Structure 1
Amino acid sequence: MPRHILIIEAHPDGHDRHLCGALADAYAKGAANAGFTLRRLDVAKLDFPLLRSREEFENGMVPEELTAAAEVVQWAEHIVIVFPLWHGTMPALLKAFLEQVFRPGVAFQYRNRGFAKMLLTGCSARLIVTMGMPTPVYRFWFGGHGVKGLRRSILNFAAIRPVRQTFFGMVEKVDEAGRQHWLTKVEALGRRGV
């Protein structure tokens, strides 16, 4: 049975010539060839307001500009988020997008007592992260804290599990053969839908 896959390309620079865009394309190619049903969001091409208060987050509506994005998040059975590491975590534009879309009524629901009800049960995710530093330095020296925060505090909070990670480090130094190896690896992930 075809699986619903959402690819969120989250490089803040809206140009299509960066590695994140190529990785998202590679995943989409593999998934499409395997027969999965795909949707794609390019966060840099969306225009939406920032959240500025707890009241707005808890009781406000998803902005009209992101209503379709919220619907496709609820439709997805697997979400792939591709982004560059900036200051050890996701870029601010991705964080702002997630704050607007992963809110009460979409990703979870507050209850009168106890923990919130998670609304995205049955969905899994893959984080594909590019960075300038060596991957082991990010994982072991910095503890992967920025990606852990995204996984635990946003995705797992909405019941998205498992959340797998693929890191590509030293991106400015990679040659064309290395880049092609990465694209082939991501295309294979897309074919498997993981």
Structure 2
Amino acid sequence: MKKRLLVIDGHPDADPARFVHALARRYIEGAEEGGHEVRTLNVAELRFPLVASRADWENGNLPPDIQTAQEAVAWADHIAIFFPLWLGDMPALLKGFVEQVMRPGFAFVERQGKLHEKRLTSRTGRLIVTMGMPAVVYRTYYRAHCVKSFERNILRFVGIRPLGHVLIGNVEGSAVARAGWLDDLFDFGEAGI
């Protein structure tokens, strides 16, 4: 089944030499090979302020790049989010982007005395996270805190169903391992997951 795929490249450094960018490009190549429709958002290239107050988050002006991002999220069947692990979490620019995009009224609606209404149901998502440490250390010792928080407190909160995540450790390790991850991401893209 052909899908509408949104690829969010969350690396804050636009330098094309970053491995996250190569993984995202390979995913896109696989998606195109699989006949899926693909849109991309490169967070490093977008312009938006950080949310500074509750009033700003609830009623502030929507920057043009964020409006485009919301349109892409609304369009997508599946969202693949790529980012490097920095100090145990997503980079600040990606967090600021997510706070802007997942605003009330778009991503969810609060209801008096009831649970909020999730506005992005029927979508799936996957996180692809790179790191310098071995992925097994992040998963077992650090318990993949950032990834679990992102899946539970952001994706699930707005109705996006996580299909799992990909943790890529030792990114500056062997070229053979990097080539294997690139092949894996092509396969994920081709399958539309």
Using the size of structure 2 for normalisation, the TM-score is 0.96
- Give the CA RMSD over aligned residues: 1.1
- Kept in 2, the 8 Å contact 1:151–1:163? The answer is no
SS for the counterpart of 1:99 is helix
Aligned to 2:63: 63
Q: Deviations over 1:130-180 (max 9, x none)?
A: 00111111011011111111111111101111341001101122x222111
Aligned to 1:109: 109
**Aligned pair in 2 of structure 1 residues 146, 97: CA closer, same or farther (>3 Å)?**
same
Q: Deviations over 1:11-64 (max 9, x none)?
A: 110111110000001100111111111000000001110000012112334323
- Identical amino acids, percent of aligned pairs: 46
Instruction: Confirm or deny that 1:167 pairs with 2:167.
Output: yes
Aligned to 1:189: 188
SS for the counterpart of 2:39 is strand
Q: State the AA in 2 paired with 1:190.
A: G
* Structure 1 Cα separation of the partners of residues 162 and 42 of structure 2: 23
* Structure 2 stretches lacking a partner, 5+ long: none
* Structure 1 stretches lacking a partner, 5+ long: none
Alpha-carbon distance, 1:187 to partner: 0.4
* Structure 1 Cα separation of the partners of residues 24 and 171 of structure 2: 15
Using the size of structure 1 for normalisation, the TM-score is 0.96
- Kept in 2, the 8 Å contact 1:80–1:125? The answer is yes
Show the 5 A alignment for 1:1-194: 1-173=1-173, 175-194=174-193
**Deviant stretches of 4+, over 4 Å:** none
Aligned positions, number: 193
- Kept in 1, the 8 Å contact 2:2–2:192? The answer is no
- Kept in 1, the 8 Å contact 2:155–2:162? The answer is no
